[in-house]
Amino acid sequence: MTVLLAGGAGYIGSHTAIELLNAGYDVVVADNYSNSCPESINRVEKITGKSVKLYELDIKDTDKLEKVFEENNIDAVIHFAGLKAVGESVSKPVMYYRNNIDTTLSLLETMGRYNVKNIIFSSSATVYGEENPVPYVETMKRGVCTNPYGWTKAMMEQIFEDTARADAELAVILLRYFNPIGAHESGMIGEDPNGIPNNLMPYVSQVAIGKRECLTIFGNDYPTADGTCTRDYIHVTDLAVGHVRAVDYIIKNKCVEIFNLGTGVPYSVTEIVETFERVNGVKVNHVYGARREGDLAECYANADKAYEILGWKTERTLEDMCRDSWNWQKNNPDGYCK
């Protein structure tokens, strides 16, 4: 069985490639390296001892994408290829809509031409919007998103649902990720952000190693136990295994399903910083600052459905997440390619 990972050289795609290869799937990766580099896949091959067929291309370019379907017998596609920086999406909305929506249309069109009927999509907890109460359950309606990035995810979910409604043979799984952090236990692959990290864990790691002076914790006056925001942090390897379960499932079942991929357990920003310091024996300089616009006080999953249907639940602890993030940062202080 062969799985095409669109955007597979990135953070979540590369971890998923390892778990798919370990589970016996063949993996083809197509990526334009707009936020990654081929070195991640070289390392996937080293870790697994297996080879990955790699294409450098823009998924929006249907002529080039056709070649991938022509040359490989693809059984399922996982669509990771997207731009994901929330702040950048506010200043460059057209770029986000163009890239994220067009990659989706391009994949669906090409799959249609080659009669490939299984697709899994990287969605996000952000589609629950501001109105729904936590914990989020898949049966809730999509909410009002707070930024263009979030809207691209909500729109793409709609596109997949409409396309599946029109084609009874098309199987779709929408995976709503919560907050992936951590890295492969080998320390050889991990998250490699460009420039100043937007997300908490890469910022924490870069402060710990001395690349950044100080972490600003955005707000300590939220209605949470310690006043800082809570999130459902999930180890990227657990998330990757969730994709393998989804592929196993979609190949056997003609389904249209949504699954939350989270632990169901929220942790605060302060808890993340304190756990990182304790587990790794390092100091993370931090100050409390103003709230960041658009942040919700709390965001966490009800993770029951993925367990009941896919038989998947997370196995790694917050300590594992902090240890593995640090291990990756220490071994690769400048990421893959810099």
Instruction: Tell me which residues are annotated as active site.
Output: 149
Q: Which of 168, 201, 303, 325 is nearest to 245 (CA)?
A: 303
Among 43, 117, 231, 323, binds ligand UFG (CB under 6 A): 231
CA dist 251 and 2 (Å) reads 11
Residue sitting closest to ligand NAD (CB): 10
Q: Which does 81 bind (CB under 5 to 8 A by kind): ligand NAD, ligand UFG, none?
A: ligand NAD
Does 32 engage in binding with ligand NAD (CB under 6 A)?
Answer: yes
Residue closer to ligand UFG, measured from CB, 8 or 76 = 8
Stretch touching ligand NAD by CB under 6 A, among 10-18, 130-138, 249-257, 323-331: 10-18
Residue 18 contacts by C-beta under 8 Å, 6 or more apart in sequence? Answer: 44, 47, 48, 184, 189, 240
Residue closer to ligand UFG, measured from CB, 73 or 91 = 91
Applying CB under 6 A, the site for ligand NAD has a residue count of: 27
Applying CB under 6 A, the site for ligand UFG has a residue count of: 22
Site of tokens 């249209």: 256
Minimal distance, residue 200 CB to ligand UFG, in Å:
4
DSSP assignment, residue 125? Answer: G
Structure tokens, 150: 């979030």
The footprint of ligand NAD on residues 99-118 (CB under 6 A) is 99, 103
Stretch touching ligand UFG by CB under 6 A, among 5-13, 124-132, 239-247, 330-338: 124-132
Minimal distance, residue 293 CB to ligand UFG, in Å:
10
Among 76, 164, 229, 282, binds ligand UFG (CB under 6 A): 229
Residue sitting closest to ligand UFG (CB): 229
Does 272 engage in binding with ligand NAD (CB under 6 A)?
Answer: no
Residue closer to ligand NAD, measured from CB, 129 or 180 = 180
85-89 contact pairs (CB < 8 A, 24+): 85/149, 85/198, 86/147, 86/149, 86/150, 86/198, 86/294, 87/147, 87/198, 89/147, 89/148, 89/149, 89/150, 89/152
Q: Which amino acid belongs to residue 36?
A: S
| DSSP line for 44-88 | HHHHHS---EEEE--TT-HHHHHHHHHHS--SEEEE------HHH
Does 125 engage in binding with ligand UFG (CB under 6 A)?
Answer: yes
Among 3, 59, 172, 217, binds ligand UFG (CB under 6 A): 217
Cα–Cα distances in angstroms (integers) from residue 215 to residues 18, 131, 204, in the given order = 32, 29, 7
Minimal distance, residue 132 CB to ligand UFG, in Å:
13
Q: Which of 145, 125, 80, 129 is nearest to 232 (CA)?
A: 125
If one counts every other C-beta atom within 10 angstroms of the C-beta of residue 171, the result is 21
H/E element, 42: helix 39-48
Q: Could you tell me if 312 and 235 are in contact, meaning their C-beta atoms sit under 8 angstroms apart?
A: no
Does 238 engage in binding with ligand NAD (CB under 6 A)?
Answer: no
Q: Which does 200 bind (CB under 5 to 8 A by kind): ligand NAD, ligand UFG, none?
A: ligand UFG
Does 235 engage in binding with ligand UFG (CB under 6 A)?
Answer: no
Minimal distance, residue 61 CB to ligand NAD, in Å:
8
Q: Could you tell me if 153 and 147 are in contact, meaning their C-beta atoms sit under 8 angstroms apart?
A: no
Q: Could you tell me if 170 and 253 are in contact, meaning their C-beta atoms sit under 8 angstroms apart?
A: no
Does 267 engage in binding with ligand UFG (CB under 6 A)?
Answer: no
User: If you count them, how many residues does the chain have?
Assistant: 338
Footprint of ligand UFG on this chain (CB under 6 A)? Answer: 84, 86, 124-126, 150, 178-179, 198-200, 203, 215-218, 229, 231, 269, 292, 295, 299
The residues binding ligand NAD (CB under 6 A) are 7, 9-13, 31-36, 58-60, 80-84, 99, 103, 122, 124, 177, 179-180
